[in-house]
Amino acid sequence: MTTVLVTRPAGAGDPLVAELESAGFQVRAVPTVATRRLPVEWPELAQFDWIVVTSAAGVDTLPRVAAGPRWAAVGEPTAAALRSKGVSVDVVPAEANGAALAEAIPDASGARVLLVRASLADPDLPAVLRRRGALVEEVTAYETVEGPTESRDDLLEALEQEVAAVVFASGSAVRGFTRLGGRVDLPAITIGPRTSAVAREAGFKVAAEAAGPSVRQLAAAVREAIPTAAIAAVERRPRRLRTSAALRNLVRETRIDPAQLIAPLFVVSGRGVRHEIASLKGHARMSPDLAVR
């Protein structure tokens, strides 16, 4: 079974994990970014014209839901988290980034805006709002931890397996992955252009980019990219034996002559494909997900 590594903060409880498992992948979920609440003195929410939230983690920090203000969310996952609290969301931009959200808010000039944000946040959002004439008050409700130390051992253990690709949903997750000692020779699948840019800067080859910011779109990108990514991973690095340190050392020290490789491998495109070869009894043409097992 093909293994992918998911780096989102929710770990094994993330809906992306369920989506990928239902598609037939083996998923290792190791958060390479975490969020932690900060102590906040919240202003009276009802005094604002707009309350702008930039992540589902920010929604979780809200002390209450106020009647009166209009609400804006950076993307559909954040909007869904607000709706689960009974909030009617007025604005969700077509592109899930701070600048697009700031431009999408109507009648910004003179409006009082409360921005609920992380300690590491996109500076474009408040800057564009202020340029448009909004009166912005920022609340730093939580901090983003890139590379939480509690994930280090789990990540290194996961990378002992043959991993077809690493899935990143933010630039912070990419930076956290590398800070924890993750390898950049694995194919990366990202949630969007900004995350792809961070991944490439870190040294990753981006195998696929989601068409949009939703879990389903990210899962679709994984499904489309994995056959190619799996082949690339097999070509780059042979499977390592993990039974013991002695066996791993033996593998590293052993050199195999090509003449010893007598088992042919016939690969075809697709997923879950296996066609027996009539002229070679016991051999079959297989899609990459079956061939790498």
Instruction: Give 241-284 pLDDT, tens digit per residue.
Output: 455 666 666 666 666 666 666 667 777 777 777 878 776 777 78
pLDDT at residue 195, rounded to an integer: 94
pLDDT at residue 253, rounded to an integer: 66
pLDDT at residue 228, rounded to an integer: 43
Higher pLDDT, 254 or 120: 120
Q: How are strands ordered across the β-sheet holding 3-6?
A: 26-29, 3-6, 165-168, 187-190, 205-209
pLDDT at residue 234, rounded to an integer: 47
Instruction: Give 86-102 pLDDT, tens digit per residue.
Output: 999 999 998 888 899 99
For the cut 90, the answer to whether the pLDDT of residue 9 exceeds it is no
pLDDT at residue 205, rounded to an integer: 96
pLDDT at residue 244, rounded to an integer: 60
Higher pLDDT, 94 or 28: 28
What are the extents of the domains in the chain?
Answer: 3-32+148-236, 37-144, 255-291
pTM of the full structure: 0.67
Q: Domain 37-144 is of which CATH architecture?
A: 3-Layer(aba) Sandwich (3.40)
pLDDT at residue 140, rounded to an integer: 94
Topology agreement, domain 3-32+148-236 and domain 37-144: yes
For the cut 80, the answer to whether the pLDDT of residue 291 exceeds it is no
For the cut 80, the answer to whether the pLDDT of residue 81 exceeds it is yes
| Record: fold of 3-32+148-236 | Rossmann fold (3.40.50)
Instruction: Give 184-242 pLDDT, tens digit per residue.
Output: 999 999 999 989 999 999 999 999 999 988 889 999 999 999 864 444 444 444 455 45
Share the mean pLDDT of the chain.
Answer: 86
